[in-house]
Structure 1
Amino acid sequence: MLASGLTANPILAVAGNHRQNATVVAVDVAAFLPVAEFTALVDDTIDAVHALPVPAGRSAARVPGERGARTYRGRSVSGIPLPAATWAALADAATDLGVPVPRPP
Protein backbone atom coordinates (compact mmCIF):
# COMPACT_ATOMS: atom_id res chain seq x y z
CA MET A 1 0.00 0.00 0.00
CA LEU A 2 2.92 2.36 0.50
CA ALA A 3 3.93 1.86 -3.12
CA SER A 4 0.51 1.88 -4.77
CA GLY A 5 -1.73 3.76 -2.38
CA LEU A 6 0.52 6.76 -1.86
CA THR A 7 1.09 7.11 -5.59
CA ALA A 8 -2.64 6.89 -6.37
CA ASN A 9 -2.14 3.64 -8.26
CA PRO A 10 -4.46 1.28 -6.38
CA ILE A 11 -5.03 -1.02 -9.36
CA LEU A 12 -1.93 -2.86 -10.56
CA ALA A 13 -3.46 -4.22 -13.76
CA VAL A 14 -5.53 -1.88 -15.90
CA ALA A 15 -6.89 -3.00 -19.26
CA GLY A 16 -4.22 -5.66 -19.60
CA ASN A 17 -1.36 -3.27 -18.91
CA HIS A 18 0.68 -4.27 -15.90
CA ARG A 19 1.59 -1.33 -13.68
CA GLN A 20 4.10 -1.71 -10.89
CA ASN A 21 5.36 0.43 -8.03
CA ALA A 22 7.99 0.00 -5.38
CA THR A 23 8.89 1.51 -2.04
CA VAL A 24 12.42 1.74 -0.73
CA VAL A 25 13.07 2.67 2.88
CA ALA A 26 16.54 3.39 4.24
CA VAL A 27 16.95 3.09 8.00
CA ASP A 28 20.02 3.87 10.08
CA VAL A 29 19.78 0.90 12.44
CA ALA A 30 22.47 2.37 14.68
CA ALA A 31 20.12 5.27 15.47
CA PHE A 32 17.87 2.77 17.29
CA LEU A 33 20.20 0.13 18.75
CA PRO A 34 23.71 -1.23 18.28
CA VAL A 35 24.13 -2.94 14.92
CA ALA A 36 25.45 -6.14 16.53
CA GLU A 37 22.32 -6.33 18.68
CA PHE A 38 20.12 -5.84 15.62
CA THR A 39 22.06 -8.51 13.70
CA ALA A 40 21.58 -10.96 16.58
CA LEU A 41 17.85 -10.15 16.63
CA VAL A 42 17.62 -10.82 12.88
CA ASP A 43 19.47 -14.13 13.29
CA ASP A 44 17.15 -15.13 16.15
CA THR A 45 14.10 -14.24 14.06
CA ILE A 46 15.35 -16.33 11.12
CA ASP A 47 15.99 -19.25 13.46
CA ALA A 48 12.44 -18.89 14.85
CA VAL A 49 10.92 -18.92 11.36
CA HIS A 50 12.96 -22.00 10.42
CA ALA A 51 11.78 -23.74 13.60
CA LEU A 52 8.08 -23.29 12.78
CA PRO A 53 6.14 -26.52 12.30
CA VAL A 54 5.73 -27.48 8.66
CA PRO A 55 2.51 -29.04 7.33
CA ALA A 56 2.89 -32.46 5.74
CA GLY A 57 3.97 -32.25 2.12
CA ARG A 58 5.34 -28.72 2.43
CA SER A 59 8.90 -27.49 2.59
CA ALA A 60 10.26 -25.57 5.55
CA ALA A 61 9.27 -21.96 6.10
CA ARG A 62 11.67 -19.50 4.53
CA VAL A 63 12.44 -15.85 5.08
CA PRO A 64 12.53 -13.25 2.30
CA GLY A 65 15.61 -13.61 0.14
CA GLU A 66 16.34 -17.28 0.85
CA ARG A 67 14.80 -18.61 -2.35
CA GLY A 68 16.59 -15.98 -4.44
CA ALA A 69 19.92 -16.67 -2.74
CA ARG A 70 19.54 -20.41 -3.36
CA THR A 71 18.64 -19.77 -7.00
CA TYR A 72 21.63 -17.44 -7.39
CA ARG A 73 24.03 -20.01 -5.96
CA GLY A 74 22.65 -22.77 -8.19
CA ARG A 75 22.74 -20.67 -11.34
CA SER A 76 26.24 -19.43 -10.55
CA VAL A 77 27.37 -23.06 -10.69
CA SER A 78 25.06 -24.55 -13.33
CA GLY A 79 24.12 -21.54 -15.45
CA ILE A 80 20.72 -20.05 -16.20
CA PRO A 81 18.24 -22.56 -17.60
CA LEU A 82 16.81 -21.62 -20.99
CA PRO A 83 14.03 -23.24 -22.97
CA ALA A 84 15.36 -25.11 -26.00
CA ALA A 85 13.67 -22.67 -28.39
CA THR A 86 15.34 -19.70 -26.70
CA TRP A 87 18.75 -21.40 -26.83
CA ALA A 88 18.23 -22.15 -30.53
CA ALA A 89 17.21 -18.54 -31.29
CA LEU A 90 20.26 -17.20 -29.45
CA ALA A 91 22.56 -19.68 -31.20
CA ASP A 92 21.12 -18.70 -34.58
CA ALA A 93 21.60 -15.00 -33.83
CA ALA A 94 25.17 -15.62 -32.68
CA THR A 95 25.94 -17.65 -35.80
CA ASP A 96 24.51 -14.86 -38.01
CA LEU A 97 26.84 -12.41 -36.25
CA GLY A 98 29.87 -14.69 -36.49
CA VAL A 99 30.01 -15.22 -32.71
CA PRO A 100 31.12 -18.66 -31.58
CA VAL A 101 28.33 -20.63 -29.97
CA PRO A 102 29.23 -22.66 -26.89
CA ARG A 103 27.88 -26.16 -26.54
CA PRO A 104 24.41 -26.19 -25.02
CA PRO A 105 24.31 -27.11 -21.36
Structure 2
Amino acid sequence: MKRWTRKWEQVLGNDLKRHFEEIEYEFEMFKSYNEARAFQSPSGLFELLPIPENVPSEYLELAARFNKVQHIMWKDPRSMAVYNMYNDAAARLSGGAGP
Protein backbone atom coordinates (compact mmCIF):
# COMPACT_ATOMS: atom_id res chain seq x y z
CA MET A 1 0.00 0.00 0.00
CA LYS A 2 2.79 2.42 0.83
CA ARG A 3 4.24 2.16 -2.67
CA TRP A 4 0.94 3.09 -4.35
CA THR A 5 0.19 5.77 -1.79
CA ARG A 6 3.61 7.35 -2.41
CA LYS A 7 2.94 7.38 -6.16
CA TRP A 8 -0.36 9.19 -5.67
CA GLU A 9 1.20 11.58 -3.14
CA GLN A 10 4.06 12.37 -5.54
CA VAL A 11 1.62 13.27 -8.30
CA LEU A 12 -1.10 15.03 -6.27
CA GLY A 13 0.65 16.03 -3.06
CA ASN A 14 -0.77 15.65 0.42
CA ASP A 15 -3.14 18.63 0.36
CA LEU A 16 -6.14 17.19 -1.43
CA LYS A 17 -8.39 19.92 -0.07
CA ARG A 18 -7.04 22.45 -2.55
CA HIS A 19 -7.74 20.05 -5.44
CA PHE A 20 -11.32 19.53 -4.24
CA GLU A 21 -11.73 23.31 -3.87
CA GLU A 22 -10.48 23.95 -7.42
CA ILE A 23 -12.85 21.37 -8.85
CA GLU A 24 -15.83 22.71 -6.90
CA TYR A 25 -15.00 26.33 -7.83
CA GLU A 26 -14.92 25.51 -11.54
CA PHE A 27 -18.12 23.50 -11.24
CA GLU A 28 -19.86 26.43 -9.53
CA MET A 29 -18.65 28.77 -12.30
CA PHE A 30 -20.01 26.32 -14.87
CA LYS A 31 -23.39 26.21 -13.13
CA SER A 32 -23.51 30.00 -12.79
CA TYR A 33 -22.52 30.87 -16.35
CA ASN A 34 -23.46 27.62 -18.14
CA GLU A 35 -20.08 27.67 -19.82
CA ALA A 36 -17.38 25.08 -19.32
CA ARG A 37 -13.87 26.42 -18.88
CA ALA A 38 -10.73 24.40 -19.12
CA PHE A 39 -9.04 24.49 -15.76
CA GLN A 40 -5.73 23.44 -14.31
CA SER A 41 -6.35 20.32 -12.36
CA PRO A 42 -5.06 16.82 -12.04
CA SER A 43 -7.11 15.81 -15.12
CA GLY A 44 -4.67 13.79 -17.20
CA LEU A 45 -2.85 12.63 -14.11
CA PHE A 46 -5.67 10.34 -13.05
CA GLU A 47 -5.34 8.38 -16.27
CA LEU A 48 -1.65 7.83 -15.57
CA LEU A 49 -2.12 6.53 -12.05
CA PRO A 50 -3.10 2.96 -11.29
CA ILE A 51 -6.41 2.31 -9.55
CA PRO A 52 -5.34 -0.14 -6.88
CA GLU A 53 -7.75 -1.13 -4.17
CA ASN A 54 -5.39 -0.01 -1.43
CA VAL A 55 -4.88 3.67 -2.27
CA PRO A 56 -6.36 5.91 0.45
CA SER A 57 -10.02 6.63 -0.25
CA GLU A 58 -9.48 10.42 -0.29
CA TYR A 59 -7.46 10.09 -3.49
CA LEU A 60 -10.04 7.85 -5.12
CA GLU A 61 -12.83 10.24 -4.10
CA LEU A 62 -10.91 13.17 -5.60
CA ALA A 63 -10.45 11.29 -8.87
CA ALA A 64 -14.12 10.27 -8.93
CA ARG A 65 -15.37 13.81 -8.26
CA PHE A 66 -13.08 15.34 -10.87
CA ASN A 67 -14.25 12.93 -13.56
CA LYS A 68 -17.91 13.39 -12.66
CA VAL A 69 -17.54 17.16 -12.98
CA GLN A 70 -15.68 16.72 -16.28
CA HIS A 71 -18.50 14.56 -17.58
CA ILE A 72 -21.15 17.10 -16.59
CA MET A 73 -19.21 20.08 -17.95
CA TRP A 74 -17.85 18.58 -21.18
CA LYS A 75 -20.27 15.70 -21.88
CA ASP A 76 -17.27 13.41 -22.16
CA PRO A 77 -18.38 9.76 -21.94
CA ARG A 78 -14.82 8.68 -21.16
CA SER A 79 -14.90 10.81 -17.99
CA MET A 80 -17.99 8.98 -16.80
CA ALA A 81 -16.31 5.62 -17.34
CA VAL A 82 -13.26 6.78 -15.36
CA TYR A 83 -15.58 8.20 -12.67
CA ASN A 84 -17.26 4.79 -12.33
CA MET A 85 -13.90 3.04 -11.95
CA TYR A 86 -12.74 5.37 -9.17
CA ASN A 87 -16.13 5.48 -7.48
CA ASP A 88 -16.33 1.68 -7.45
CA ALA A 89 -12.79 1.41 -6.08
CA ALA A 90 -13.59 3.91 -3.31
CA ALA A 91 -16.78 2.01 -2.45
CA ARG A 92 -14.92 -1.30 -2.23
CA LEU A 93 -12.25 0.29 -0.06
CA SER A 94 -14.75 1.80 2.36
CA GLY A 95 -17.10 -1.16 2.20
CA GLY A 96 -19.92 1.25 1.42
CA ALA A 97 -21.76 2.64 -1.57
CA GLY A 98 -19.03 5.10 -2.53
CA PRO A 99 -18.52 8.85 -2.31
Shared fold (TM-score greater than 0.5)?
no
TM-score normalised to structure 2 length: 0.25
Higher Cα radius of gyration: 1
Q: Which has a greater percent of helix? A: 2
TM-score normalised to structure 1 length: 0.24
